[in-house]
Amino acid sequence: MNELVLGISAFYHDSAAALVRGGNIIAAAQEERFTRKKHDSSFPVEAINYCLEEAFVETNELDAIVFYDNPFLSWDRALKSCMMARDPQKIFPKIANSMLGEKVWVEDYALSAMGSLGKMNKLLFAEHHISHAASAFYPSPFTESAFITLDGVGEWATTTTGFGDKNTLQFVSQIDYPHSLGLLYSAFTYYCGFKVNSGEYKLMGLAPYGEAKYKSLIYDHLIDVKADGSYRLNTEYFGYINDFVMTSDKFNKLFGGEPRKPESLITRKEMDLAASIQKVIEEIVLLIAKYTKKETGSSNLVMAGGVALNCVANGRLLREKIFDKIWIQPAAGDAGGALGAALSVTYNYFENDRVVSTTGDSQHGSYLGPAYSRNEIKAFLDFHDYPYTEVSCATEKAKKIAKAIYEEKIIGYFCGRMEFGPRALGARSILGNPLSKTTQSVMNQKIKFRESFRPFAPSVNLDKVSDFFEMECSSPYMLLVAFVKKERQLPVDTDTDDLIKIVNLARSDIPAITHVDYSARIQTVTEESKADYYQIIKEFGNLSGYEMVVNTSFNVRSEPIVCSPRDAYTCFMRTEMDLLVLENFLLWKKEQPNFDETEDWKKNYELD
């Protein structure tokens, strides 16, 4: 059985498409990478076209097309929520416009956009949390496993637990809207002045700078948590039920004032709020995990849903050793729902036999997006007369890049298939020197144009990870946080409210990747997973004694990660990066012509 199944997620945030053949993941990508609209929620026409091109098939050759969500159940939830609101007439028009405009008529929309609904001539629907659970379990390295899904809301579900065995998923428990850990965390994201559905990771990054002073207040007023991890929110404190904002006046009063205005000064209050809600989330996740372990008896755990991207909570879950092994879907949010929907149909509708990888997971390193050939890149560079050096020898290329990193140059690295999910994993990455005390501030202010407190992640070769961190397992998708080893930590005085001073303090002998609490969000790299990246890290280790580089996503603030050579060159020229690597082509900033961005975006769009 070798059915081609296309999964689609759309109309909320992070639209995506994924193509699966008989259980093998052929391609997956987010729409934002092609349209250049961050968190693009539109129907993923470009992502679908890419997936079909990767498999050399047309839409009418697809055995099934499946949507990651059941819009009729979502409409049911929205309508009932509207009826319970204090002022239904205020919120009904927006709900109706959203639900009746696209989601309910998604099959017609898909047919219009794609021209065909495949061999079945109809669109299948998976439920939201089934898609999440499928995306976590089926690509995992486990024959059987417990699963936990956590997000803002699907149709009704916000939290589910269960057990996966071979082809089947069995649900054990479910918590429904309006009670949601994802929405609780988003309420604090909003209150601290960050954007909901995109700024949650900023709140997580801010948390180590504060103290959990508001934790008791959260437990006393906002959420009632039972010993099994089940919970209920006090909806009087939240605005998302009765209005279009996350917090109510009662919430604002409880925490001493109106939400922080975006881009205004971050104060000690925001640091402490971030620390408090982070601790609450961690503690509830641990309770849910203990309950799930008890109910399923499995020693393995898989996770998905937006809350599963909270790598600090994941790291704590790992340290608590509730489960022996943990695997988290790298595209844990709604984008990954497209993949989960396709896999669910593959194994449950078409009843394919699931084959578990013997060498790791079946996610292919999450390198599931487009790659560009030598000829394509050379044509792009030659057409624009951009100066470059071509290095055909892989070892020589790795040595040149490693030397530049060692000399504290900032590298834009573009090589191989683009990553699926929010993390750059060495295919669309910006690289720097982890030993430099200035790397973090330079990359934040001159490259990423983002908040100074935001930490950077290390990519470290797997066989060296325990030399630097309190970690023994692999973390290929940058979804686990661990602490820098005690002997590498340096004492610091953080008794100040000046965030810049705190950020610039060296906290270990690898200062660029050591967060204020001595933690780091780790990506482990192997030669099998990505040989080119492994070799660069290896060569940097030969120069420095540290097999590790700083890795952040290849984009600037408010833009998606780069997809094409043109995207990469534009980002390179907009920032103060020193070197751009496009496969085997090396471009030094000092050699490039003056960059007329408007003119360059006009020229020969089809080439790249």
Tell me the per-residue pLDDT of 170-188, one tens digit each, with 9 for 90 and over: 999 999 999 999 999 999 9
* CB 236, CB 178: distance < 8 Å: no
Say which residue the tokens 């090589």 belong to: 415
CATH superfamily of 374-607: Carbamoyltransferase, C-terminal domain (3.90.870.20)
Instruction: Give SS3 for 234.
Output: coil
Range(s) for CATH 3.30.420.40 in the chain? 4-131+329-362, 176-326
- CATH number belonging to domain 176-326: 3.30.420.40
Please determine, for residue 378, whether its predicted confidence score (pLDDT) is greater than 80.
yes
Q: What angle do helix axes 268-296 and 181-191 make, rounded to 10 degrees?
A: 170
Please determine, for residue 90, whether its predicted confidence score (pLDDT) is greater than 80.
no
Please determine, for residue 267, whether its predicted confidence score (pLDDT) is greater than 80.
yes
* CB 20, CB 57: distance < 8 Å: no
Tell me the per-residue pLDDT of 109-122, one tens digit each, with 9 for 90 and over: 899 999 999 999 99
**Angstrom distance (rounded) from CA 567 to CA 574:** 11
Distance in Å from the first CA to the final CA of the chain: 36
How confident is the model over 391-408, as a mean pLDDT?
97
pTM of the model: 0.94
Q: Between the CA atoms of 248, 252, 258 and 261, what dihedral angle is there, to the nearest 10 degrees?
A: -80
**Angstrom distance (rounded) from CA 68 to CA 155:** 11
Please determine, for residue 600, whether its predicted confidence score (pLDDT) is greater than 70.
no
Strands (E), 52-143: 64-67, 123-125
Instruction: Please tell me what DSSP assigns to residue 492.
Output: -
Instruction: Please tell me what DSSP assigns to residue 260.
Output: P
Beta strand 64-67 pairing with 157-165 = unpaired
Alpha helices of 179-296 — where are they, by DSSP H?
Answer: 181-191, 200-206, 215-217, 249-254, 268-296
Amino acid identity, position 5? V
**Angstrom distance (rounded) from CA 473 to CA 464:** 11
**Angstrom distance (rounded) from CA 137 to CA 145:** 7
* CB 132, CB 151: distance < 8 Å: yes
Mean pLDDT across the chain, nearest whole number?
Answer: 92
* CB 229, CB 284: distance < 8 Å: yes
Please determine, for residue 504, whether its predicted confidence score (pLDDT) is greater than 80.
no
Task: Tell me which fold the domain 4-131+329-362 belongs to.
Answer: Nucleotidyltransferase; domain 5 (3.30.420)
Tell me the per-residue pLDDT of 332-363, one tens digit each, with 9 for 90 and over: 999 999 999 999 999 999 999 999 998 899 99
Please determine, for residue 608, whether its predicted confidence score (pLDDT) is greater than 70.
no
Please determine, for residue 198, whether its predicted confidence score (pLDDT) is greater than 90.
no
* CB 30, CB 335: distance < 8 Å: yes
Pick from 456, 461, 494, 495: nearest CA to 476: 461
Range(s) for CATH 3.90.870.20 in the chain? 374-607
Q: How many CB atoms lie within 10 A of CB 44?
A: 29
* CB 216, CB 290: distance < 8 Å: no
Percent composition of the chain: helix, strand, coil (DSSP 3-state, to 5): 40, 20, 40
Q: 141-167 burial, b for 16+ CB within 10 Å, e for fewer?
A: bbebbbbbbbbbbbbbbbbbbbbbeeb
pLDDT in the model for residue 500: 61
What are the phi and psi torsion angles at 157 (to 5°)?
Answer: -65, 145
**Angstrom distance (rounded) from CA 157 to CA 444:** 37
Tokens of 232: 């209920």
Percent of the chain with pLDDT over 70: 91
Tokens of 207: 């948390």
